[in-house]
Structure 1
Amino acid sequence: IINISRTKGSTSSSCSMNVFDRQMKRNQKIWSQNQKNFQQYNYLRQEEVCASAGDSISCVCRTFPLTLDLSGSTSFITEHLSKDVVQRVVLTNVSPHTKYTHSEIPTMCVSADEEFLPFKENSFDLVLSSMTMHWINDLPGALRQVCSVLKPDGVFLGAMVGGDSLFELRCSLQLSECEREGGFSPHVSPFTSVNDVGNLMSSAGFNLLTVDVDDVRVNYPGFMELMMDLQGMGESNCALNRRSMLHRDSMLATAAIYKELYGNDDGSIPATFNILFMIGWKPHASQVNTYYL
């Protein structure tokens, strides 16, 4: 079904800059997937992102015999796909206990990292990525690899957290640490802007680009519930320059500042996620912009 060429020892770029601790992120994802209540923390990915991605794929007037899903061991997106459109799926995994949704679409799992895709060129008709690319160190290199493994006239559809996501949390943490500790450290991951995503996809070789932003606002009872949900999603910070822990006084101050600045009338607090949706096609001589209804 698939052709393996590169190994994990290869690199996508000789000059990539390390921003994230990829081993820590892998451990966070594995821990998250091994929790009994794993499903309850995936509302953002499952109900918002994957549902929108499924709708976008269904609007493409063609069939995809072989699809690569880079969604990191969870195949929620297959719940929103039809076998008439997507016939077979290869799902990458980072955990030895991969949890994937059983669906009518035949699915096989391959151990692979988004930064080191072990597939030959021109292998897939469609590549999907749901909420994993915002943790990639070499995003330009990863996008070039995605374009490479696509067949000519193949399509990439991805979704990632970007823009000003969690700006309420970021601001509250900075204010609380400045007040209690005389300075602040990064506790929220840096995110890619919508303009940067479009430029990176164009540089990677994609045509017919579409980049859109969807703001998803989730209300939580309080600061601690938000932090627990981020941990349950496997979305805790893993930046290399992060602090190992947050002081108790700073946490209490953060909760108070968060509620004072952004709190809702009912006592809950909002958290805003900017979801970047991107679509790009691998160039082909016969390519015309008529795939969408």
Structure 2
Amino acid sequence: MLRSKSKFHVSMLYRWLSAQSSVNIFDRRAKRWQKNRAAASPNASTYDYLKDEVAYRLVDRLGDVSRAFPLALDLGSGRGHVAKFADSDSIGLLVQTDMAEEALKNVTCATTTTKIQADEESIPFRTNSFDLVTSCLALHWVNDLPGTFQQILNLLREDGVFIGALFAVDTLFELRCAFQLAEEAMRGGVAARVSPFTDMQDVGSLLSRAGFVMTTIDVDEIVVNYPTMRALMKDLQCMGESNAAWTRSNYISKSVLREAETIYKSMYGIEEDGSSIPATYRVLHMIGWKPGGNQWQAAERGSGTVSLKDVLEK
């Protein structure tokens, strides 16, 4: 019941937010600091496993598009996760941008690239500049997602493509539920411990409203096992994925933390002794095209010549 209530609340929140012209959910200065701290760590590569996996899947989807992209933009590139797997035969020059300057200092690339510090909420390029825009696990921290989608559309040339991935609703639901139950039991109230996420229906609507056509959206579920809840929280911090919502609480009492760990193990522990716990990451993948060229167009309503009833009866 608690999980369903949380999902409903977050979904309704984002549907209301998507209708607003200006929102301010996340502390972008805090997020930049978190990402810089994570990227500057001497063992930062140890915590690239999740973003590398999502980037690999994103580039794999891009491989289904049989065309060359002379100029591409990786928005919110982080430590170059997309660039690690980008195909130099299909991508000419890849421009990598990120709000965190430390993330751009140490990247591994499989194609020709250039790096520019820039915020995903204010993209500093001319319209009709790129053939391709990618974004891997950066846009879930953007305040004005409709505005960013509109900027991406403007950046693309006619018949250009945007392919992205962001965390979706129910990501880390185990951690969220454990903290909610622990704080309700220990304090009689609930603090914001896990950032809100959007869902597939909302993103599809926002892409269409921005002007993208032939949109495709699907969701992957990646489950990673951790020895303890604290190990999970440490990995999130070292990924630069700590909560950055303005409503976040910066203090967790030891009693609440211990109770949350106990609840997490009892509800989700994998082994009989609870020696490992799962963390679920739901990743929303999206593809959208800028109108132009000789794209396929949907037929006009009522122009069909075959009855669906006749087809189903055969």
Per the normalisation by structure 1, the TM-score is: 0.91
Show CA shifts across 1:5-44 (max 9, x none): xxxxxxxx99311000000000000000000110111101
- Give the match for residue 179 of structure 1: 185
Which runs of structure 1 show a deviation greater than 2 angstroms over 4 or more consecutive aligned residues? 93-97, 99-104
- Post-superposition offset of 1:288: 2.5
SS of aligned partner of 2:140: helix
How large is the Cα RMSD of the aligned pairs? 1.5
SS of aligned partner of 1:56: helix
Distance in 2 (alpha carbons) for counterparts of 1:204 and 1:239: 25
Q: Which of the numbers 138, 144, 168 marks the counterpart of 2:144?
A: 138
Amino acid at match of 2:64: C
- Post-superposition offset of 1:94: 2.4
- Give the match for residue 268 of structure 1: 276
- Post-superposition offset of 1:72: 3.6
| 8 Å CA contact 1:72, 1:94 repeated in 2 | no
How does 1:35-74 map onto structure 2 within 5 Å?
35-46=41-52, 48-74=53-79
Bigger mean CA deviation after superposition, 177-186 or 87-96: 87-96
| 1:90 lines up with 2:108 in the alignment | no
Amino acid at match of 1:275: V
Amino acid at match of 2:200: V
- Post-superposition offset of 1:186: 1.1
| 8 Å CA contact 1:69, 1:91 repeated in 2 | yes
Counting matched residue pairs gives 276
Amino acid at match of 1:270: P
Name stretches of at least 5 consecutive residues in structure 2 with no aligned partner: 1-18, 298-314
- Post-superposition offset of 1:287: 1.1
Show CA shifts across 1:96-155 (max 9, x none): 332343434211111211100111110000000000000000001000100010001000
| 1:169 lines up with 2:187 in the alignment | no
- Give the match for residue 234 of structure 1: 240
Q: Which of the numbers 191, 199, 203 marks the counterpart of 1:197?
A: 203
Bigger mean CA deviation after superposition, 271-280 or 91-100: 91-100
Distance in 2 (alpha carbons) for counterparts of 1:57 and 1:79: 14
SS of aligned partner of 2:208: helix
SS of aligned partner of 2:92: coil
Distance in 2 (alpha carbons) for counterparts of 1:101 and 1:118: 21
How does 1:11-50 map onto structure 2 within 5 Å?
15-46=21-52, 48-50=53-55
Name stretches of at least 5 consecutive residues in structure 1 with no aligned partner: 1-12
| 8 Å CA contact 1:73, 1:99 repeated in 2 | no
Distance in 2 (alpha carbons) for counterparts of 1:134 and 1:92: 16
Distance in 1 (alpha carbons) for counterparts of 2:134 and 2:144: 18
Structure having the larger proportion of residues in helix? 2
Show CA shifts across 1:182-232 (max 9, x none): 111111000001111111111111011000000000000011000000000
| 8 Å CA contact 1:50, 1:130 repeated in 2 | yes
Show CA shifts across 1:37-85 (max 9, x none): 1011110110x21111111112211000000001343212122121110
Distance in 2 (alpha carbons) for counterparts of 1:104 and 1:219: 30
Q: Which of the numbers 123, 126, 129 marks the counterpart of 1:120?
A: 126
- Give the match for residue 6 of structure 1: none
SS of aligned partner of 1:126: strand
Which structure's CA Rg is the greater one? 2
| 8 Å CA contact 2:95, 2:116 repeated in 1 | yes
Distance in 2 (alpha carbons) for counterparts of 1:104 and 1:227: 31
